[in-house]
A = this chain, B = another copy of it.
Amino acid sequence: MRAALEVIAERGYRGASLAAVAERVGLTQQGLLHHFPTKEALLVAVLRERDDWDALPSGRLRLDLLASLVEYNAMRPGIIQTFSALLGESVTEGHPARGYFTERYGEARASMAELLRAEYGDRLPGGLTPERAAPLVVAVLDGLQYQWLLDPESVDMPAAFRDFLTLLGEPPQGHAP
């Protein structure tokens, strides 16, 4: 799995080959095919693995923990590179990860709205509902990753995300769970 992540990070999914993954782990291509019959099957396994790693029980994430997750992500450029590359490719026609990302982003917006409602109630300080602010939080997380991957010296991703939390405004007292 780690070898697959590395190869996708280096070449993207479309540029990756089972042969390159097999070589990296010292398997013959035949040996790798025994575990993953197609490149697509390997991709699905990689995406599932990520979800297992990063999953938190619903309702357990808070805005301040989200800032910590961004700090954590800034220490693992490899995996962020893999998923940023896959997200980019997924918008091309018939990409095998497209369905996965479409569903994942729908869920991400829904759980972000839930998180924002727990912190702020039905309105954020600027007047937006949690449902309308949710896609913006998700967008900032993704967009900052690209800027940071391209130019880590110029972009302090965790600091920029904390700046975004400043824009969202202070949660009212007593609303934090």
Cβ of A72 under 8 Å from chain B? no
Complex contact B14–A105 (CB within 8 A): no
Q: A11-B92, A140-B140 are in contact. Are A101 and B135 (CB under 8 A)?
A: no
Q: Which of B93, B101, B133, B167 meets A136, CB within 8 Å? A: B167
When C-beta atoms are compared, the residue in chain B nearest to A127 turns out to be: B166
Inter-chain CA distance A138–B151, complex, in Å, is 14
Interface residues of A in 123-144 (CB under 8 A from B): 124, 126-128, 132-133, 135-136, 138-144
A interface residues (Cβ-Cβ under 8 A, vs B): 9-12, 14-15, 81, 84-93, 98, 101-102, 105-106, 109, 124, 126-128, 132-133, 135-136, 138-144, 146-147, 149-151, 154-155, 160, 163-164, 166-169
